[in-house]
Structure 1
Amino acid sequence: MYRFVLTPRWLAAAALTVAAAVVMVFLGNWQLHRYHERSAINARIDAADSATPRPLTSVLDRPVSPGTAGPAPGADLAWTKVTVTGRYDPAHEIQARGRTVDGEVGFEILTPLVLGDGTAVLVDRGWIPPAPGGAIAAPTVPPAPAGQVTVVGQVHRSESRPTPVEHRDGRLDTRRIAVPRLAAQLPYPVYGAYVLLTGQTPAADSAFARIPVDHEDAWQNGGYAVQWWLFAVMAVFAFVWQARKEARGETNGAPQPTDRVAEADRQRADQGGDRVAEADRQRAGRGGDRVDGYDRERAASAADRPE
């Protein structure tokens, strides 16, 4: 019944089904990998809240040349809780515009913290709303504390899709926080990641809103992984179901191989029956002719005999 699957059409369909299923399985595995990656990030974010801060210099590689950024940390170091002590340099403060917190657009303020060895790290001190007049109207920024400051925060890697750094009214302005581009505007070596402030001594100004740390949507990737695997199973199931339907002669209501065989048998049987019936009629016809001739001969003989 299933010999038809060895025809070129069905072999091509089988190859296409297997190829599609393999691709779907690989896509599911990739989504599973992303699920594990994002779950690990979420675990680091959660662990940072209760972790003991580590010295910044033990987490990030030290930068060397002024105006350049040090090596960027690996993904495994993102959100690590660190502590660092130095002096703020408000003269080179940076405003990142178009930043949204709780549905409102404002600015994040990054101020270089210069360490005792002459290197610096960018500290995101928090979010403040714009001045009246528009979402990009320069805000009034609370001054950074003078003197020695100890910062506690989380390591944040550079953002993707960097944008130009502009000079506006004597301040540095950007849309995306890309440490290498910002470091090029500063007169000292800068560490390759910035610190998202969570605590400070002396205390930070209350005008700043803390930047929320959003968790990664790992479950979305997990759902996509299961979805791709189900698609792979459905592709194989569809092929098997179609093959069974073909074998039963149900595809599209058209005569299938089994139907054609049965029809051929019926035709042969009908043709054979017709030939037998025709032969019987012919024999019957010849027999009737012989009987009629015999009867005519007998009648003629009786007429010739004298009474």
Structure 2
Amino acid sequence: MRFRLFTPRWIGLHLLALLAFAVCMAAGYWQFERAQQPDRGEVVNPAEELAGAQELDSVVGPTDYMPESLGNTAVTATGTFADTAPLLAPGYENGADAEDPGAFGYYVIAPLVTGDDTAVAVNRGWIPADEAEQEGAVDRLAPVPEGEVTVTGWLQPPQKNEEGIVRMDVPAGHIERIAPSVLVNEWPYRLYEGYIVLGGQEPSDGAPPAGGIAMSPAPPPAPEQGITWNWKNVSYAAQWAVFGGAVIVFWISLIRRELEDASSDGDGTGDGEDGGDRAPEPQAPAAAP
């Protein structure tokens, strides 16, 4: 009976079952891997070394869409800082470090004019909230250098308003987030979608006035750490695992039915391996009287 499972038809069924099982397992594993991957709307790249900074326009152009995958790219840009007061955007001392965000304060944002009616927002640094909220705080900051300036830093995508709420009580000289949709109402320039977190500058800022406010460097947001499970993909992985198990169960049931049919054929027809009913042996003719 066992040889009935190795006929060409059954060999094809065996291979088909193994292929279906392998496809289910591969698809389930792929969905399981996808469940652990960060969302496409998050910066997951480590901050690049500033020594390898690329020209800003070679990475992204003004008004061009900036994908999140360009976050933390080291870039350099040359231009002149506009003769306008800097803007203050709320933020934490350590950027996006969820475990230790640091003290609350404000980022100092200024436009670097890189061409005709074109500018990129530069995050010059961070100041504590108690100093930033004082009257005339921006006048006590270190002045930007005059003339041509080359800045080097990390490109960041525009900050998002995750709650979908636009604050209506933002004080003068403050913005709710660093994004071109907000800055376009403050500056008369074509803006890059991203902004630069300052890492180096040539020439450097001037000395702050007496009793001025010292800025701390604003580090680039750290990439997302740990695993954020996407339960939708986890459920897909579980479904593929169930499909793979169903293939095995169906395959085994077909084999059992085939063996049962072979056994019944052997008991009733004599075609079995062990015989079944045998033909009667010939009898010797009876002796004549």
Q: Same fold judged by TM-score > 0.5?
A: yes
Give the number of the structure whose alpha-carbon radius of gyration is greater: 1
CA distance in 2, matches of 1:167, 1:113: 27
Superimposed CA distance per residue, residues 189-218 of structure 1 (whole angstroms, 9 cap, x where no aligned partner)? 111111111111123575323224312125
| Aligned equivalent of 1:30 | 34
| Aligned equivalent of 1:41 | 44
Superimposed CA distance per residue, residues 35-71 of structure 1 (whole angstroms, 9 cap, x where no aligned partner)? 59699933xx24x125511111222223xxxxxxx12
Letter aligned with residue 171 of structure 1: G
Q: 1:144 to 1:59 in 2, by over 3 A?
A: farther
Letter aligned with residue 189 of structure 2: Y
| Aligned equivalent of 1:184 | 185
CA distance in 1, matches of 2:167, 2:220: 24
CA-based RMSD of the aligned residues comes to: 4.3
| Aligned equivalent of 2:201 | 200
Question: Is the contact between residue 43 and residue 71 of structure 2 (CA under 8 Å) also seen in structure 1?
Answer: no
Instruction: Choose from 52, 70, 73 the match for 1:80.
Output: 73
- The correspondence of residues 276-291 of structure 1 with structure 2, limited to 5 A, is none
CA distance in 1, matches of 2:41, 2:35: 10
Superimposed CA distance per residue, residues 283-304 of structure 1 (whole angstroms, 9 cap, x where no aligned partner)? xxxxxxxxxxxxxxxxxxxxxx
Instruction: Choose from 222, 225, 238 the match for 1:214.
Output: 222
Between 199-208 and 101-110, the greater mean CA deviation after superposition: 199-208
| Aligned equivalent of 1:258 | none
Q: 1:115 to 1:170 in 2, by over 3 A?
A: same
Percent same amino acid at aligned positions?
A: 24
Question: Is the contact between residue 36 and residue 218 of structure 1 (CA under 8 Å) also seen in structure 2?
Answer: no
Letter aligned with residue 34 of structure 2: W
CA distance in 1, matches of 2:90, 2:39: 33
Question: Is the contact between residue 38 and residue 44 of structure 2 (CA under 8 Å) also seen in structure 1?
Answer: no
Q: 1:181 to 1:169 in 2, by over 3 A?
A: closer
From the two aligned structures, give the one with the greater helix fraction: 1
Letter aligned with residue 198 of structure 2: L
Letter aligned with residue 127 of structure 1: W
| Aligned equivalent of 2:109 | 110
Superimposed CA distance per residue, residues 83-139 of structure 1 (whole angstroms, 9 cap, x where no aligned partner)? 11122225252211253535211001111111243311100111110226xxx7248
Give structure 2 stretches of 5+ with no counterpart: 1-24, 95-100, 209-213, 249-289
Q: How many matched pairs?
A: 208
Question: Is the contact between residue 94 and residue 172 of structure 1 (CA under 8 Å) also seen in structure 2?
Answer: yes
| Aligned equivalent of 1:137 | 133
CA distance in 2, matches of 1:24, 1:200: 50
CA distance in 2, matches of 1:89, 1:167: 26
Secondary structure of the residue aligned to 2:72 is: coil
- The correspondence of residues 1-307 of structure 1 with structure 2, limited to 5 A, is 28-32=32-36, 34-35=37-38, 41-42=44-45, 45-46=46-47, 48-49=48-49, 52-62=52-62, 70-89=63-82, 91-101=84-94, 102-131=101-130, 137-138=133-134, 140-141=137-138, 142-148=141-147, 149-161=149-161, 164=166, 170-174=172-176, 176-204=177-205, 207-217=215-225, 219-221=227-229, 229=237
Question: Is the contact between residue 24 and residue 229 of structure 1 (CA under 8 Å) also seen in structure 2?
Answer: yes
Secondary structure of the residue aligned to 2:35 is: helix
Letter aligned with residue 126 of structure 1: G
